[in-house]
Chain A
Amino acid sequence: MTTKTSEENNQVEMVPELSKKDLNSLFWRSFQMEFSWNYERQASLAYVYAMLPILKKLYKNKEDLSRALKRHLEFFNTTPHIVTMILGISAAMEKQNAEDPKFDESSINTVKASLMGPLAGIGDSFFWGTLRLIATGIGTSLALQGNILGPILFLLVFNVPHIVLRYILTGLGYKMGTGFLRKLQEKGTMGNLTLGASILGLIVIGGMSADMIILNVPLTIGSGDTATPVQEILDGILPGLLPLAAFGIIYWLLGKEVKATTLLIGIALVSILGTWTGIFG
């Protein structure tokens, strides 16, 4: 053994430092966070899979390793794109646990459990609501014209920020350890992030609703030369009045707990009926 003895101040057995390489493996393995997702304990198996190299490095003793493995097989779920933040924190805590025999082992899972909710709250609305929506807006508007850039931009717009964030959060989670999120919550940063993400998300949803919901009325009022298309009158009141009304009705029905599948069938039926009677077209 030729380990340097510069860190003798800890009166404990030698625990190897976690290197950049270990954190990188955490980052790469985190890509599989939903691969073995299941109804029983959701992302737990993938979480252990991500932590494996670090746990193996920290716990040379078979009993300790077994306890650590079982610990991370407990229920876990959060937004997969930013799970590295919690993984980093867990890694930092596991290291302290391996060094300090008095460390409260149960706190590792307590921190995990208390973080996964708030992080999923921000993560789900940002990644699924805001970022994916922007990617879809840009991607579909191109792809609908048959432009191959559509799907490519769709993937880039979503994944470039996603992977950058995933990477940064690995190190950040590890560095800040446990105190970090509590600090964020005290300063109200979490609330601000959620507010900003919802504002951006809603503006984009509003814009896409105006752009991509399509409903036209081919009827006319009057006859002969004085005939005015109803659509022209409606556009005079507000362009996109009918799409907005359709959105409003569906939004309201969703609030009445009407299922999405029921609404889908309803939309199809109303469309068929409307076309058949000549109101829509």
Chain B
Amino acid sequence: MITALVLGLVAFIAQSEYALGTSLISRPIVTGLLTGIVMGDIKTGLVMGATLELAFIGVFSVGASIPPNVVVGGILGVAFAISSGAGTETALLLGLPIATLALVFENLYLGLALPIFLHKADRYAEEANTRGITFMHLLGGFGMSLMIGSIVAISYYVGGDAVSKVLEAIPGPVQTGLEVATGLIPALGFAMLARLLINKQVVPYFFLGFLIVAYLEIPITGIALLGAIIAVVIVGITQKQTLATNEGGVEDDDEDF
């Protein structure tokens, strides 16, 4: 009971990252640690959180798209996996569908409840009532955090036993298969990100990064620093080229779609 409430509180705080500069405290790598602390197994929380983070790496909101809820998925996935004594693949197996399920509630709130506050704010704007507008903004935001917190607390309280029973019923080969899947799922996130950034001009840099790490086994911090230097150099060269072509009066427009 108390665990459920504390987990709900963790979810409330994590969801409130939107009041804290979208600072990524809602991500599984962070909530995994916090959930691990609550469940009394920090190390497992860290490992599961990081695994979920990689699985959810393609899950983030670009523009107006709302992705599966990583707060609910991350916290409940890790909490259930620890409480049932199962492995990391279980956190993944549970976290992904739970996040998608929570998205239904989130969408209802963002699509139906918040616009009600917004329309109220419209009326306050008419009367130049600034306190009313402030109240609507805060009510809308904290309402969301409260809803997410409650979903986590209630699900954990109700679902613990049911989840362990379902997990016990899963046959062995499926479990090992899912373990293999945890190694493959990051590929989905990376591919989604690559789609966001790629155009003809920059395709080779993906392979450059891949080969450097595959052959030299440099840690990611190293590859990030190397990448920054390469980016600066290439931008410098391109800049010179564009200036040169512009002086020649030729418009070099290689925009890609």
Chain A residues engaging chain B, CB cutoff 8 angstroms: 30-42, 44-46, 48-49, 52, 55-56, 62-63, 65-66, 69-70, 73, 77, 80-81, 120, 124-125, 128-130, 132-141, 143-148, 150-151, 154-155, 158-159, 162-163, 166, 188, 192, 195-215, 238-240, 243-244, 246-247, 250-251, 254-255, 260-261, 263-264, 267-268, 270-276, 280-281
Contact call A132/B60, Cβ cutoff below 8 A: yes
Q: Which residues of B contact A247 (CB under 8 A)?
A: 187, 190-191
B155 CB–A CB distance under 8 Å: no
Please tell me which stretch of B1-9, B136-144, B156-164 contacts chain A, meaning at least 4 of its Cβ atoms lie within 8 angstroms of it: B136-144
What are 26 sample pairs from A and B whose C-beta atoms fall under 8 A apart?
A36-B140, A45-B137, A69-B125, A80-B21, A80-B22, A81-B22, A124-B62, A134-B220, A143-B33, A144-B51, A150-B33, A155-B25, A158-B24, A199-B230, A202-B194, A203-B227, A205-B194, A209-B186, A212-B186, A243-B187, A250-B187, A250-B188, A251-B191, A260-B188, A271-B181, A273-B177
B214 CB–A CB distance under 8 Å: yes
Contact call B177/A151, Cβ cutoff below 8 A: no
Query: A202-B209, A204-B223, A208-B190 in contact; A34/B22 too (CB < 8 A)?
Result: yes
Of B136, B144, B184, most A-chain CB atoms within 10 Å: B184
Complex: how many Å from CA A91 to CA B154? 44
Q: Which residues of A contact B187 (CB under 8 A)?
A: 209, 213, 243, 246-247, 250, 267
Pick from A41, A55, A267: contact of B188, CB below 8 A. Answer: A267
Contact call A213/B196, Cβ cutoff below 8 A: no
Q: Which residues of B contact A267 (CB under 8 A)?
A: 181, 184-185, 187-188
Interface string of B3-29 (1 = CB under 8 A from A): 000000000000010111111110101
Complex: how many Å from CA A237 to CA B192? 27
Contact call B50/A139, Cβ cutoff below 8 A: yes
Query: A31-B19, A42-B64, A132-B60 in contact; A204/B224 too (CB < 8 A)?
Result: yes
Contact call B214/A38, Cβ cutoff below 8 A: no
Of B21, B33, B179, most A-chain CB atoms within 10 Å: B21
Contact call B192/A45, Cβ cutoff below 8 A: no
Interface string of B211-233 (1 = CB under 8 A from A): 11111001111011011101110
Complex: how many Å from CA A150 to CA B49? 10
B173 CB–A CB distance under 8 Å: yes
Query: A49-B133, A240-B210 in contact; A154/B183 too (CB < 8 A)?
Result: no
Contact call A202/B178, Cβ cutoff below 8 A: no
Which A-B residue pairs are the 9 nearest by beta carbons? A206-B209, A272-B177, A214-B183, A137-B220, A35-B141, A38-B114, A203-B227, A143-B50, A203-B209
Query: A36-B140, A73-B122, A207-B220 in contact; A272/B174 too (CB < 8 A)?
Result: yes
B174 → chain A, closest Cβ, in Å?
5
Contacts A35-B18, A73-B122 known; 18 new A-B pairs at CB < 8 A: A41-B118, A48-B125, A136-B57, A137-B221, A137-B223, A138-B221, A143-B49, A151-B33, A195-B201, A195-B202, A208-B190, A210-B211, A215-B184, A238-B214, A267-B181, A271-B180, A275-B180, A281-B180
